[in-house]
Amino acid sequence: MENIAQRINTLRKTLREHNYNYYVLDAPTISDYEFDLLLKELESLEKRYPEFYDPNSPTLRVGGEVTKNFETVTHRNRMYSLDNSYSKEDLYEWEKRILKLLGTEAVEYTCELKFDGASINLTYKDDKLVQGVTRGDGYQGDNVTANVKTIKSIPLVLQKPFLEEFEIRGEIILPLAGFKQLNEQRIEDGFEPFSNPRNTASGSLKMQDSREVAKRPLDCLLYQVVGSNRFLTHYNTLLEAKKVGFKVPEDIKVCSSLQEVFAFIEYWDKARHQLDYETDGVVIKVNSLAQQEELGYTAKYPRWAIAYKFKAEQAISRLLSIDYQVGRTGAITPVANLQPVQLAGTIVKRASLHNADQIEKLDIRVNDTVFVEKGGEIIPKIVGVDLSQRLKDSKPVAYITHCPDCGTLLERKEGDAKHYCPNHYGCPTQIKGRIEHFISRKAMNIDGLGAETIALLFDAGLIHNYADLYELKKEAIIPLERMAEKSADNIIKGIEASKKIPFEKLLYALGIRYVGETVAKKLAFHFKDIDTLMSTDFEHLIAVDEIGESIARSLIDFFNDLLNIQLIDRLKKYGLQFKIDESKSTIQSDILGRKKIVISGVFTKFSRNELKQSIEDNGGKVSSSISKNTDFLIAGDKMGPAKRTKAESLGVPIISEEDYIGMIFKG
């Protein structure tokens, strides 16, 4: 029996090495026939001796597991999207921002091709794959581990020790040659061909039968190890990841200046057409992991990375008609209905027209032949008109004057590009939009409710605003279309549970213009409760870090509206959280007394996040840049010289990590 176990382990190790040589290094050392013989021997032994089962055996690459419902998994580390740029000027502006934040004169970058596939987050523990999760909304995704295991370029067991437990992120792609072969087979079998490799790769990950996934020639390119500074730079981390079995981009390049970045972009803008996979741009990252940590994130993007998008593909179509959509803030957006056209691998039927100015500027008319472009936006846009094809009886577009939903006369404020419906509390689309925002996951996160259910409740006259949700009764919900007792129970439970959602999320849920997640959190923790915030004047609002004039005016307008005041009063009576729960606060002391502190460099006693948390726990405020209002700068190793110079010129005290610890301890 010992000899059997030894042979099984030897076969597994040998097959993993050959798999690595073939799929990662592209340097096979045995023929496919020899590989298949070894695999069949292992399959036979595992079948005869099931006591030696290993969930990461090479034989499980063929699939076999059926998943009817994919488990939703919360990401341990949020998967951010990337900010996009379309010109050299955009990249110069980005560099200017990061140099200012780092307080240095130059930064080393890495350039990588931006793959057009499905993002994946892989978790490894003790050098074995334990989980594969889709990006989802960045906060949570679907557990697709069984399907991921069928992709041969993803190692199930690493070649040698790497990190004890870590996440690595990449893109599941379908190479063009494999996509072509797959479609040829589908046509031969009498099925419709797939439209593009990206959607096919993404759809493959959500197939219920992993055996079917195994039949698709999916590949995986890994581009980021999360949460480890062990290898000091992003580039070195990927080199080490390749050594242990991961397939990383071959074309990554370290650049010491934006001029070198531009050269990389210009080369690949042409050479990308020779690749066996789709790419739509270049990702530029700050190479130093310590600098990445110092730069951190905005509410949406990492500050240390940006995507440069290649010039978008264009198509020609005919503009059939124009619809006007109403947003939850009342903003009117014109949308073009097009003759269906193939563009960048998808069929396009609609395109954005942005606003009345854009329609007038391009002189866009119904029945025009138009140029459609797919840039960084989700919906394509019209970028021009072929005037040579214009019909003789063509007439300029008469932009609508009244709301397409409620018929109210539209307004357009000076300096604003968009028209607005002012019927804030009577326009059905605006009302439903605000309620949908209120219940969304980043806001009140009410389970059981979605856009369709909100529409049902509104159309039935059961709700007219988000406060009405808290008066809903199960008996009134059950008679609605497609509503069962269990569904009604879930809605009521979800609404009840939302009463415990913290103040900062509730403030965001109210849907105040310009108040996103980050601003809501900043306001909540600064003012502590809704009453203090509502009674604060303009000068006190703009004195808050990162609160500008537009946000301040929007807050004052919102809280001066009698209907908003009444809604908030109702929500208070229902027991929602309109103040910070001090009992759950992590603040340990007020030693720092609201002092504004900037941190820069690499620290030994704290990670940067730990240091930030310590400052906040002791009553301080962390700022990203030095100004005359900065109380002091905590300087670590490798701090940028420009930051030191600026601090000295403004007379901002500079202290060490040890000085800070002494200050807290003494306090």
Catalytic residues: 114
State the Cα torsion 384-389-391-395 to the nearest 10°: 10
Taking the C-alpha atoms of residue 517 and residue 536, their distance in angstroms, rounded to an integer, is 20
Positive or negative: CA dihedral 23, 29, 30, 36: negative
Positive or negative: CA dihedral 217, 222, 226, 230: positive
Q: Give the pairing of strands 632-635 and 596-600.
A: parallel
State the Cα torsion 314-315-316-320 to the nearest 10°: -110
CA 13 to chain centre: 37
CA 235 to chain centre: 23
Taking the C-alpha atoms of residue 252 and residue 260, their distance in angstroms, rounded to an integer, is 13
Residues 6+ apart with CB under 8 A from 14: 38
Contacts within 8 Å (CB) and 24+ apart, 335-339: 335/379, 336/364, 336/370, 336/382, 338/370, 338/372
State the Cα torsion 195-196-201-203 to the nearest 10°: -30
The label of the residue with tokens 């900062």 reads 504
Ordered strands of the 118-125 beta sheet: 128-134, 118-125, 165-173, 219-226
Q: Which amino acid appears at position 194 of this protein?
A: F
Taking the C-alpha atoms of residue 120 and residue 97, their distance in angstroms, rounded to an integer, is 29
Got the DSSP string for 21-62? HHHTSS--SS-HHHHHHHHHHHHHHHHH-GGG--TT-GGGGG
Taking the C-alpha atoms of residue 318 and residue 136, their distance in angstroms, rounded to an integer, is 34
Q: Which of 231, 254, 227, 255 is nearest to 241 (CA)?
A: 231
The label of the residue with tokens 């003759």 reads 339
